[in-house]
Amino acid sequence: MIVCVTGPMAAGKNLVSSILEKKGFVSSDADLLGHEAVDECSGKIVETFGNLAKERGVELLGDDGKIRRRNLGAILFSDPNLIKKQEEIVYPAIQKKIDDFLSINKGRDVVLNATLLYKLPVIKSVDLVIFVDSPMPLRFLRARKRDGMKSSQILDRFRAQKNLFAKYEATDADILRVWNIGSERGLEKRIGQILQKAGWG
């Protein structure tokens, strides 16, 4: 069984993925794969966005020569067209990494922890999408505590993920929404009920 765990920023995707791991699923964090893809595509990223970053006084590369993802995000997430350009660069590399992961784990129960999996061809291979959600004020507080980002950057990312549930619905994937607003034990119970409903086990 291939499960996609998705949802907006700071909703609880990692927590749900860890619950599934306890149930025997093997997990891949597509956001981390995205970080790897950004490093692999750093030359093209600098070529594409370097001038814009310079105009805005933003350093794209750190002392280690790697992309400063937070700085890159600061110039991208306020403009959908810039986000699209970035996706065209890195998404083929992410898809390749996911394909390799699925190939290695063929026949096992797999969870793909990913915000934007609906944009990749692999969404057609997913058996179930678990959409994790939380009220925006709660997600905002979690993001501030977890990431230490500026409020404006968090809100830019929230806006970039607007209507995320509808975008997954448009893929015709089997999708179930779960609200992460209570205890971890309660969330684990709801995940178990979702798997049972999907015929797992």
User: What tens-digit pLDDT sequence spans the chain (201 residues)?
Assistant: 999 999 999 999 999 999 999 999 999 999 899 999 999 999 999 999 999 999 999 999 999 989 999 899 888 887 889 999 999 999 999 999 999 999 999 999 999 999 999 999 999 999 999 999 999 999 999 999 998 888 998 998 898 899 999 999 999 999 999 999 989 999 999 999 999 988 886
**CA dist., res. 199 & res. 201, Å (int):** 7
Q: Write down the pLDDT at residue 176.
A: 95
Within 10 A of 71 (CB to CB), how many other CB atoms are there?
16
**CA dist., res. 12 & res. 133, Å (int):** 7
Region class of 180: left (phi > 0), else alpha (psi between -120 and 50), else beta: beta
Model-level pTM?
0.87
Q: Write down the pLDDT at residue 157.
A: 87
Q: Write down the pLDDT at residue 5.
A: 98
**CA dist., res. 1 & res. 108, Å (int):** 7
Q: Write down the pLDDT at residue 73.
A: 87
Pairing of strands 110-113, 175-179: unpaired
Q: Write down the pLDDT at residue 103.
A: 97
Joined tokens for residue 106: 């063929």
Question: Residues 195, 94, 30, 179: is their CA dihedral positive or negative?
Answer: negative
**CA dist., res. 16 & res. 6, Å (int):** 9
